[in-house]
Amino acid sequence: MIGAPWIREFEMPVAHGSLRVREWGDPHGPLVVFHHGTPSSSIAVPGGWSGPASAGVRLCSYDRQGYGGSPTLPGRTVADAADWSARIADACGADRFAVMGTSGGGPHAVAAAALLPDRVTALCVDVGIGPSGFGFDASTGMVPETLAEIDAARRGETALRAYVESLGDGADALSDWVERLPPSDREVLGRADVQHEESVEADEWAAQGVEGWIEDDLALFAREWSFDAAAITAPTLLVYGGADVLVPSAHGEAWLALIPHAELRIVAGGGHWLRDHEVGALRWCAAQGAATPVF
């Protein structure tokens, strides 16, 4: 794709099917495996397309199965992200690596840190969905549309599919959310480069319809997570926007209760698009738990 500055793109076999993986940034930098949001694809990376290079990291993003270039896998779980992360690191020749996840990708990054304690050097949860697999009510503080989505997921695939398909395809599926966004999100989404990247992202994640979105929601809200977040020992940074209406900061507080050694950073006035803070978060990941992120 012209204008998308990844270093390389490759298909990686996994236990069931394959993943499309993209490598960004400095090929000699420390590795960060990134878990994208819901719905999204590997084209969306922290800090925008120039973010990994600005942070000096080697970042690998990938399409979860059902999104973009990764064939769908009915029944996948959040815990599967640990195996995917390990395989991506192996493909890069890296024994140790950091993980970062945004929004619906947050729990996937947590799973990797919990299940790969000898390999994960740092964990960053960036506006990530709270620990619904550990008793937290993920609907806490959510807007009505998200409340309806979570309820549909809990009622099963048929109800969820009917709800998601009722929203339409691509960028139109998220239109109801936009009206409720705080000024900080509106400012970020008004930038020309962000609009371009968001447009490409919307086209990519919808390449297989809503399959990735359906499987994400079922994995997040209707299936067992099968890992223990309290087992995480890696340095952990939780970054949330104080004005986020999509994943409120209460989700970060819930993660902090499970991972008490973590640092919770709430960006005053920040929303769900914390683009201007994500390069600092990547630098923190690269430093493997440096005390103070460069925000």
Third-level CATH fold of 6-286: Rossmann fold (3.40.50)
Exposed (0-12), middle (13-18) or buried (19+): which is 59, by Cβ within 10 Å? buried
Helix (H) or strand (E) holding 88, with range, is: helix 80-91
pLDDT at 1 exceeding the cut of 70: no
Predicted pLDDT at 179: 76
The backbone torsions φ and ψ at residue 120, rounded to the nearest 5 degrees and listed phi first, read -85, 120
Query: Average pLDDT of 99-116?
Result: 98
User: Residue 123: which pLDDT band, with cuts at 50, 70 and 90?
Assistant: very high
Decide if pLDDT at 161 tops 70.
yes
Contact 161, 153 (CB under 8 A): no
Task: State which amino acid sits at residue 55.
Answer: A
- Reply yes or no on whether the pLDDT at 142 is more than 90: no
Neighbour-count burial of 118, counting CB atoms closer than 10 A to its CB (0-12 exposed, 13-18 middle, 19+ buried): exposed
Could you tell me the pLDDT band of residue 207, with boundaries at 50, 70 and 90? Answer: very high
For 11-53, how does the pLDDT look when each residue is reduced to its tens digit (9 = 90+)? Answer: 999 988 999 999 999 999 999 999 999 999 999 999 999 999 9
Name the pTM for this structure: 0.94
Mean of pLDDT values over 244-269: 97
Cα(29)–Cα(26) distance, integer angstroms? 5
